[in-house]
Amino acid sequence: MTDTTALQRFRAGLLIYKDRRIILIALMGIASGLPLLLTLSTLGYWLRTQGLDLTSIGLFAVVGTPYALKFLWAPVIDKISLPLFTAKLGQRRGWALFIQILLMAAIASLGFTDPVVALAPVAILTTSIGFLSASQDVVLDALRIELLEEDEQGAGAAATQGGYRIGLLISGAGVLFLSDFVSWAVVFVCLSGFMTLGMLAVLLVKEPDHPKTAEIRDMKTFMKVGVISPFSEFLVRPGAFVILTFVLLYKFGDAIGGTMANPFYVDMGFTGTDIALVSKTAGIIATMVGVFAGGVLVRAIGLFPSLVIGGILQAATNMLYAWVAVSGTDVSVLAIAIWGDNFTGGLGSAAFIAYLSVLCNREFTATQYALLTSFMAFGRTLLSTPSGWLVEQVGWVEFFIMTSFLAVPGLVLIFVLSRYKAYKPTKSAD
């Protein structure tokens, strides 16, 4: 590749962010990020300010379960039509708008409940928000994948991730700040209003083309076309086992290190202010810059080279935390480590999400992508469980050095997948 060609490809990688589709995908990302913290930290904060006991608050952790199980109902979103909505807007846009309307109503309604007086309505609404939010992710992911060509998936992943983090900021720091000045009813109504960004994007974007499939007339046909076919089509591909192993291992080093991040900061003696400014604020910015750079990289040099670069950098920057461990409470060293780790993590995530996206057969996009992401999330959670025990056995410095080497199997598998082109899905049926 000549210098001129390389510059042209990097320029094309930058210019794609001006594409109308990428901008709309970023708005959809905001809508995806908004509800998440209403099943996590923001929910816990609100419940505690209302006077709910800690035991009851702990039980609300189950409302986030739908995110791990969304592949179970993804076939419905993939194949079943909705009266009025899909007829007017198409399969993806129709489902997306329908879910967003319900999600907007559920978020707004939450502000008019009292968890101390009547906990059941709160439980019903928060569970509904978790289910609807996971369902929105299913359809918006499918919409993003089907809107873009293979070499555009990196930019689409970056736009989604960037928007997602903006949504998290709004429903996290934004909500907590606003709650100091207005009632929680006003807070939740305002938060639900931000869902209109995603709704607007869905209405403005073009419905992607879909491969023709058998018409769903009964449960037997649905089970065959919507449930069995997406799974069997993926599992019979050459290298399917290698693909799934790679999906499990590519971010493994990052995941096991990230699990112990906050306990590590505490053990090192950093204050809450240090952590808030460096990790929770500057770190988010570094991640967003990283995903943007990752999108450019995928467009400029291709998917597999980007995965290799992202994987190597992710492994290398884990070593920075070992530096923090021997530097004590030096905030500047912490800042370098977090910036480096979050930037490379974002870059690797953009390439990885692009890879998961091109794995999907567009006849079963929603189901296969939901399956892959659920498998990834479950695997990372399960494999990260020994992280605390590992720290206690070897210490912080050795632990973070080990997390760097845990990235090696995933890197090796990239070369296997690249050599055999195992990531290519089979063609959709006519």
Sequence-distant (≥ 6) Cβ neighbours of residue 315 within 8 angstroms: 253, 404, 405, 407, 408, 411
**Residue type for 141, please?**
D
336 — pLDDT class (breaks 50, 70, 90)? very high
pLDDT score at 2: 60
pLDDT score at 163: 95
pLDDT score at 429: 43
**Average pLDDT along the chain:** 88
For residues 207-225, give the mean pLDDT: 73
Spell 98-137 as b/e; 16+ CB within 10 A means b.
bbbebbbebbbbbbebebeeebeebbebbbbbbbbbbbbb
Are 283 and 322 part of one and the same domain? yes
Q: How many CB atoms lie within 10 A of CB 18?
A: 8
pLDDT tens-digit readout, 239-258: 888 899 999 889 888 888 88
Give 104 or 330, the one with higher predicted confidence. 104
Q: How many CB atoms lie within 10 A of CB 369?
A: 26
pLDDT score at 402: 92
pLDDT score at 1: 54
Give 332 or 217, the one with higher predicted confidence. 332
Instruction: Work out the end-to-end distance of the chain between its first and last CA atoms, rounded to an integer number of angstroms.
Output: 38
* CATH number of the domain encompassing residue 181: 1.20.1250.20
Contact 360, 425 (CB under 8 A): yes
In a domain, 55, yes or no: yes
172 — pLDDT class (breaks 50, 70, 90)? confident
Are 257 and 342 part of one and the same domain? yes
pLDDT tens-digit readout, 378-400: 777 777 778 888 888 999 999 99
For residues 81-99, give the mean pLDDT: 94
pLDDT score at 374: 86
**Which of 210, 231, 258 is the last residue in one of the domains?**
210
55 CB-contact burial (10 Å; exposed 0-12 / middle 13-18 / buried 19+): exposed
For residues 88-99, give the mean pLDDT: 96
For residues 213-237, give the mean pLDDT: 78
Q: Which helix (H) or strand (E) holds 57?
A: helix 54-59
In a domain, 269, yes or no: yes
pLDDT score at 293: 94
Are 226 and 184 part of one and the same domain? no
Are 27 and 72 part of one and the same domain? yes
In a domain, 43, yes or no: yes
The CA-based angle 100-106-109, given to 5 degrees, is 140
Report how far Cα 46 is from the mean position of its chain's Cα atoms: 24
Contact 108, 3 (CB under 8 A): no
Q: In Å, what is the CA distance from 207 to each residue of 78, 147, 174, 360?
A: 14, 8, 32, 18
Are 58 and 132 part of one and the same domain? yes
**Which of 150, 183, 210 is the last residue in one of the domains?**
210
Give 6 or 290, the one with higher predicted confidence. 290
In a domain, 215, yes or no: no
Give 1 or 82, the one with higher predicted confidence. 82
Are 407 and 334 part of one and the same domain? yes
Name the least confident of 4-18, 55-69, 228-242, 250-264: 4-18
For residues 28-43, give the mean pLDDT: 91
**Which of 210, 234, 261 is the last residue in one of the domains?**
210
* Interatomic CA distance for residues 426 and 418, integer angstroms: 16
Give 7 or 371, the one with higher predicted confidence. 371
For residues 144-165, give the mean pLDDT: 93
In a domain, 284, yes or no: yes
> Which phi and psi angles does 391 have, rounded to 5°?
-60, -45
* Interatomic CA distance for residues 283 and 342, integer angstroms: 6
Are 9 and 114 part of one and the same domain? yes
Contact 229, 364 (CB under 8 A): yes
pLDDT score at 123: 93
pLDDT score at 198: 97
For residues 125-129, give the mean pLDDT: 95
Per DSSP (E only), the strands in 107-218 are none
For residues 23-27, give the mean pLDDT: 97
Are 160 and 305 part of one and the same domain? no
DSSP for residue 329: S
In a domain, 192, yes or no: yes
For residues 344-354, give the mean pLDDT: 94
Q: Is the pLDDT of residue 418 over 90?
A: no
DSSP for residue 297: H
DSSP for residue 72: G
pLDDT score at 273: 80
Longest CA–CA span in the chain (Å) reads 70
122 — pLDDT class (breaks 50, 70, 90)? very high
> Nearest Cα to 131, choosing from 102, 165, 170?
102
Sequence-distant (≥ 6) Cβ neighbours of residue 146 within 8 angstroms: 92, 208, 209, 210, 362, 365
Are 72 and 124 part of one and the same domain? yes
Question: Can you state the percent helix, strand and coil of the chain, rounding each to 5?
Answer: 80, 0, 20
Q: Is the pLDDT of residue 369 over 80?
A: yes
213 — pLDDT class (breaks 50, 70, 90)? low
Are 181 and 244 part of one and the same domain? no
pLDDT score at 367: 92
Q: Is the pLDDT of residue 422 over 60?
A: no
Q: Which helix (H) or strand (E) holds 213?
A: none
Are 78 and 190 part of one and the same domain? yes
Report how far Cα 430 is from the mean position of its chain's Cα atoms: 32
pLDDT score at 421: 56
For residues 4-29, give the mean pLDDT: 85
The helix/strand count (H/E) of the chain reads as 26, 0
Report how far Cα 336 is from the mean position of its chain's Cα atoms: 24
* Interatomic CA distance for residues 290 and 296, integer angstroms: 10
In a domain, 325, yes or no: yes
pLDDT score at 426: 53
In a domain, 216, yes or no: no
Q: Is the pLDDT of residue 75 over 60?
A: yes
Sequence-distant (≥ 6) Cβ neighbours of residue 134 within 8 angstroms: 66, 67, 69, 70
Give 429 or 135, the one with higher predicted confidence. 135
Number of domains in the chain: 2
* Interatomic CA distance for residues 219 and 205, integer angstroms: 32
Domain encompassing residue 400:
222-430
Q: Is the pLDDT of residue 105 over 70?
A: yes
Are 243 and 102 part of one and the same domain? no
